[in-house]
């Protein structure tokens, strides 16, 4: 396997050549070979390796997303520092800071809600999109700039996912019709011009960490700029985050979570449709359930 040799070369580029190293395989990613590298002086680096062109592009996008989130300087939020990226003919290695996971502290989930509200309040202008398209999992995520959040969701979120699922034969005509009906009525559920917020973009529970020091960390972003509730929708999609997180977020932004259920449902549709594209028919029931709830509301 190429990983050990290319990692050794990558580590040298950040000044750790000659250090005794221990490589520990991590199961944090289904898209890349991920290793924790421990040196003799107890310094650790996370190395993500990719050996195909699409994977290399994803790692470059992840690097840019981490640097974007880090540049926001959100109080009490940890974002792994990018230590370097190594590119050679064999593949690409993204090297980031190791963050030691710890137990969830008292009020840890409420703190996550407040930290996300703080992140979403950062000034990033008033347009929606991002300076580059990136990936949500292995799916291309289109981030063309727009002044209209509704149109952005139609053209950059729903349309590409629907096209991919249709081309792959994953959807029946009934499901395509439901998605097109929801897309045509987006103005009923989401605003045209919400405050523009920096988004992590792929904020499921596996991309949230509670660190040894008690601070919240977020990893593996798919960044864009949009409605902050889009991050909350993904976080609440699979029901593994305690409600106190969402209550704290709602209190910090000044609204009731219950009042945002339809908006959250629209944003969850994007991620469930992406799961259909990534993992197949097993997510169709969840998809049609979300679609019907919106259309019946």
CATH number for the domain spanning 72: value is 3.30.200.20
User: Same domain, yes or no, for 67 and 118?
Assistant: no
Write down which residue in 97, 132, 162 finishes a domain.
97
CATH number for the domain spanning 251: value is 3.90.1200.10
User: Same domain, yes or no, for 123 and 223?
Assistant: yes
Q: What are phi and psi of 109, to 5 degrees?
A: -75, -35
User: How many domains in the chain?
Assistant: 2
Assess contact for 223 and 201: CB atoms under 8 A: yes
Give the pLDDT band of residue 166 (cuts 50, 70, 90): very high
Assess contact for 160 and 270: CB atoms under 8 A: no
Give the span between the Cα atoms of 61 and 198, in whole angstroms: 15
Whether the full predicted model's pTM is greater than 0.85, yes or no, is yes
Q: Give whole-number Cα distances, 53 to 58, 77, 245, 282, in Å.
A: 9, 32, 38, 28
Q: Per-residue pLDDT averaged across 70-80, rounded? A: 96
Give the span between the Cα atoms of 117 and 187, in whole angstroms: 24
Q: Please indicate, yes or no, if residue 102 is contained in any of the structural domains.
A: no
Q: What are phi and psi of 222, to 5 degrees?
A: -135, 70
Pairing state between β 77-78 and 216-218: parallel
Q: What are phi and psi of 231, to 5 degrees?
A: -65, -40
User: Same domain, yes or no, for 133 and 242?
Assistant: yes
- 158 is written with which tokens? 């729903």
User: Same domain, yes or no, for 128 and 268?
Assistant: yes
Boundaries of domain holding 93: 3-97
User: Same domain, yes or no, for 118 and 84?
Assistant: no
Per the model's pLDDT, the better-predicted residue between 91 and 125 turns out to be 125
As annotated, the active-site residues are 202
User: Same domain, yes or no, for 88 and 112?
Assistant: no
pLDDT digits (tens, 9 = 90+) for 228-247: 999 999 999 988 899 999 99
User: Same domain, yes or no, for 92 and 114?
Assistant: no
User: Same domain, yes or no, for 119 and 228?
Assistant: yes
User: Same domain, yes or no, for 158 and 270?
Assistant: yes
User: Same domain, yes or no, for 83 and 166?
Assistant: no
């Amino acid at each position: 396997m190429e990983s050990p040799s290319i990692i050794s070369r990558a580590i040298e580029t950040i000044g750790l050549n000659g250090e005794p190293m221990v490589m520990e395989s991590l199961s944090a990613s289904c898209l890349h070979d991920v290793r924790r590298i421990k040196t003799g002086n107890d310094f650790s680096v996370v190395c993500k390796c990719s050996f195909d062109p699409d994977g290399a592009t994803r790692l470059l996008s992840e690097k840019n997303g981490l640097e974007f989130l880090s540049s926001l300087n959100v109080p009490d939020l940890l974002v792994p520092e990018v230590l370097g990226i190594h590119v050679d003919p064999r593949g690409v290695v993204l090297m980031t800071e190791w963050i030691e996971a710890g137990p969830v502290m008292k009020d840890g989930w409420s703190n996550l809600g407040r930290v996300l509200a703080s992140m979403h309040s950062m000034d990033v202008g008033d347009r929606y999109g991002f300076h580059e398209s990136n990936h949500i999992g292995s799916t291309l995520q289109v981030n063309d700039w727009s002044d209209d959040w509704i149109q952005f969701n139609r053209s950059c979120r729903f349309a590409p996912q629907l096209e991919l699922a249709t081309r792959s034969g994953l959807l029946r005509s009934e499901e395509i019709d439901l998605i097109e009906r929801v897309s045509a009525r987006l103005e009923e559920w989401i605003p045209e011009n919400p405050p523009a917020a920096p988004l992590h973009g792929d904020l499921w529970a596996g991309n949230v960490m509670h660190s040894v020091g008690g601070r919240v960390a977020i990893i593996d972003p798919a960044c864009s700029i949009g409605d902050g509730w889009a991050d909350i929708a993904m976080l609440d999609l699979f029901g593994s985050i305690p409600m106190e997180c969402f209550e704290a977020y709602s209190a910090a932004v000044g609204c009731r979570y219950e009042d945002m259920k339809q908006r959250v449902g629209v944003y969850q549709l994007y991620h469930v449709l992406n799961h259909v594209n990534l993992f197949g028919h097993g997510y169709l029931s969840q998809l049609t359930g979300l679609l019907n709830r919106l259309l019946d509301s």
